[in-house]
């Protein structure tokens, strides 16, 4: 009987201390059981493989018994052994064949509460960090016989599992083709987050997101029913929905669950918030520095009065306050939850008050800065609110040099730019009159 050679059986595997390799002897013959103890469920291996081995008189019988176990695969050729080991399979190496039995530990990940897109009344649980569980969630929410699930891998090093889900009856085959082409072109080494996948699939330097990342299973199921393609990445509680148009980012799931008398005005409110969060600082600079006659007389005097103590041009003020609010937003994301409230109190209340009293910024500017920040949080989807945070700066620069003319020019540029975007071949910004509603 020749000694077992690990490298020969599993080429390319480096010895590791969680690698278990046991020889199973019967009738002068021997098979080798190999698994990674950190990935596999020992109890399950005991009850399935070991029990089967116990009841057998020779290897052939054992081999036949193994085929009865759920999750059995025969590795025919190639160097898939190491791959299978790393995905939680236990390998049984016979002298003439290699069998793989799935023995993965049950995932401990549980769906958490939705955090990035909360609504008041409606489904409350988000996705979990486990891919299988996420696919299960979608299958239960969207029990259609047309639902198609494909698995692939992304990232040359991380080999992260990626599931592609779509409703075969409704999906546009062009989008699938386009997606395949783009997935093949991804060259990133380590892929760990849905937003990263979204960026890898679309152009990296786009100002607006052209694929929608959400942690809500109900939004995902709705997207499936509208013929969109869903990507689920292992290890993140988010789904990527594509294609996505501009209006999709403005819709909260609440809009589908409540009366139109409430949701339509809310939708208008969101668009107004978009206008305020992008254009208000620029309009302030333009109106104060170039065209104070823009406003009603009393209002113009009020603004000029509140700026009386401020020693520098309006755009310094705007940049100073915008910097503070952006820094505050960043700080409250990064800080641990318990310290977060301190940052907002110190930064928002004390600093704002003191800056105004010291005459460094006008009180009107404090109102503008806070309304810009608040309006930005009204946008339902996080990636879009990031884009809107960004857009106000070019507009302020335009206003600095050209006044109101510059603001209009900037807005025109962004509208043309957004209209020139395509999300997987679909126009991003236009009126979809007479076409099926893309969301809701």
Partner 1 sequence: MSRYFFYLMCVSMLIHTILFIPRVLIDERFDGAIPSLFIGPVIGCVLMVVFTRSMQQFKGKGLPEIAAMFLPKAAAVPLMLVFGLVTMTSGCLIWIHCAFIMSKYLNPDMAIYVLLSLFVIVTCFGALQSTKTVLFSLEIILILSVPLLLTLLVHSIFSENMNYDAVKAMIDYSWIMPSWKSVSASSYTFAGYIGLAVFNREFKDGKPIRFLWLIPFLGLGLMLASFFIPIGYLGTAGIDDYIYTWVSTIDAIRMKYVFIERVISVYLLILLMMTYVFTMITWHLGSQVIGSCFRSYDPQTAAWRSKLPSLVICVVIGIGTVLAGSRINEIMLFQAVSSWMIFHLPFDAAFVMIVFIWSKSKRRIQQ
6 phi and psi, to 5 degrees? -60, -45
From the CB of 296, what's the least distance to partner 1, in Å?
4
CA distances from 295 to 130, 283, 291, 333, 397 (A): 56, 11, 9, 37, 21
d(Cα 288, Cα 403) in Å, to the nearest integer? Answer: 9
**413 touching partner 1, by CB under 8 A:** yes
**435 touching partner 1, by CB under 8 A:** no
| Selected binder of partner 1 within 121, 433, 436, 437 (CB under 8 A) | 433
From the CB of 419, what's the least distance to partner 1, in Å?
4
Part of the chain binding partner 1 (CB under 8 A), chosen from 39-47, 148-156, 356-364, 427-435: 427-435
**408 touching partner 1, by CB under 8 A:** yes
**264 touching partner 1, by CB under 8 A:** no
From the CB of 249, what's the least distance to partner 1, in Å?
15
Q: Count, in order, helices (H) and strands (E) of the chain.
A: 18, 12
**402 touching partner 1, by CB under 8 A:** yes
From the CB of 246, what's the least distance to partner 1, in Å?
9
3-state secondary structure of 156: coil
Residue linked to tokens 């080494």: 189
Size of the site for partner 1 (CB under 8 A): 27
**299 touching partner 1, by CB under 8 A:** yes
From the CB of 431, what's the least distance to partner 1, in Å?
6
d(Cα 87, Cα 252) in Å, to the nearest integer? Answer: 37
| Selected binder of partner 1 within 23, 152, 412, 425 (CB under 8 A) | 412
Closest CA to 245 of 314, 165, 175: 175
CA atoms within 13 A on the CB side of 336: 2
Part of the chain binding partner 1 (CB under 8 A), chosen from 93-101, 198-206, 233-241, 405-413: 405-413
| Selected binder of partner 1 within 293, 311, 336, 437 (CB under 8 A) | 293
From the CB of 266, what's the least distance to partner 1, in Å?
20
Part of the chain binding partner 1 (CB under 8 A), chosen from 328-336, 344-352, 366-374, 413-421: 413-421
| Selected binder of partner 1 within 72, 294, 320, 386 (CB under 8 A) | 294
CA distances from 23 to 31, 32, 68, 73, 208 (A): 6, 5, 21, 20, 58
DSSP H or E run through 408: helix 404-420
* Beta-carbon contacts of residue 335 (< 8 Å; ≥ 6 apart): 343
**409 touching partner 1, by CB under 8 A:** yes
CA atoms within 13 A on the CB side of 76: 0
Binding site for partner 1 (CB under 8 A): 290-291, 293-297, 299, 402-406, 408-409, 411-413, 415-416, 419-420, 427, 429-431, 433
């Amino acid at each position: 009987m020749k000694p077992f050679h690990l490298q020969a059986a599993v080429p390319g595997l480096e010895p590791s201390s969680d690698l278990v390799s046991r020889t199973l002897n019967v009738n002068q013959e021997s098979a080798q059981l190999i698994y990674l103890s950190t990935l596999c469920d020992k109890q399950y291996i005991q009850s399935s493989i070991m029990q089967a081995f116990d009841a057998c008189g020779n290897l052939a019988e054992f081999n036949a018994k193994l085929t009865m176990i759920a999750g059995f695969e025969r590795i025919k050729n190639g160097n898939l052994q190491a791959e299978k080991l790393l995905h939680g399979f236990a390998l049984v190496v016979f002298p003439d064949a290699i069998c793989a039995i799935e023995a993965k530990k049950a995932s401990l990940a549980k769906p958490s509460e939705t955090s990035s897109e909360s609504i008041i009344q409606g489904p409350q649980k988000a996705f979990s960090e486990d891919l299988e569980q996420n696919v299960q969630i979608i299958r239960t929410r969207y029990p259609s016989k047309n639902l198609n699930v494909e698995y692939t891998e992304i990232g040359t090093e991380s080999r992260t599992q990626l599931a592609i889900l779509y409703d075969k009856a409704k999906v546009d085959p062009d989008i699938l083709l386009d997606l395949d082409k783009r997935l093949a072109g991804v060259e990133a080494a380590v892929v760990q987050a849905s937003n990263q996948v979204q960026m890898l699939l679309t152009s990296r330097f786009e100002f607006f997101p052209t694929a929608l990342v959400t942690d809500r299973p109900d939004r995902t199921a709705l997207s499936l029913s509208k013929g969109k393609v869903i990507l689920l990445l292992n290890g993140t509680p988010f789904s990527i929905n594509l294609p996505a148009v501009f209006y999709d980012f403005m819709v909260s799931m609440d809009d589908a669950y409540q009366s139109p008398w409430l949701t339509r005005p809310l939708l208008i409110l969101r668009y107004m918030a978009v206008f305020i969060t992008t254009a208000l600082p620029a309009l302030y600079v333009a109106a104060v520095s170039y065209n104070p006659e823009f406003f009603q007389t009393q209002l113009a005097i009020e603004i000029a009065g509140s700026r009386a103590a401020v020693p520098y041009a309006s755009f310094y003020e705007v940049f100073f306050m915008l910097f503070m609010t952006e820094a505050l937003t960043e700080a409250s994301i990064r800080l641990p939850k318990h310290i977060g409230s301190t940052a907002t109190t110190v930064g928002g209340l004390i600093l704002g008050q003191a800056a105004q009293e010291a005459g460094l910024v006008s009180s009107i500017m404090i109102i503008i800065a806070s309304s810009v920040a608040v309006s930005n949080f009204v946008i339902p989807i996080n990636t879009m609110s990031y884009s809107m945070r960004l857009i106000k700066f070019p507009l302020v620069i335009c206003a600095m040099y050209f006044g109101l003319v510059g603001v209009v020019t900037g807005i025109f540029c962004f509208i043309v730019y957004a209209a020139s975007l395509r999300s997987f071949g679909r126009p991003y910004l236009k009126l979809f009159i007479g076409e099926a509603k893309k969301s809701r």
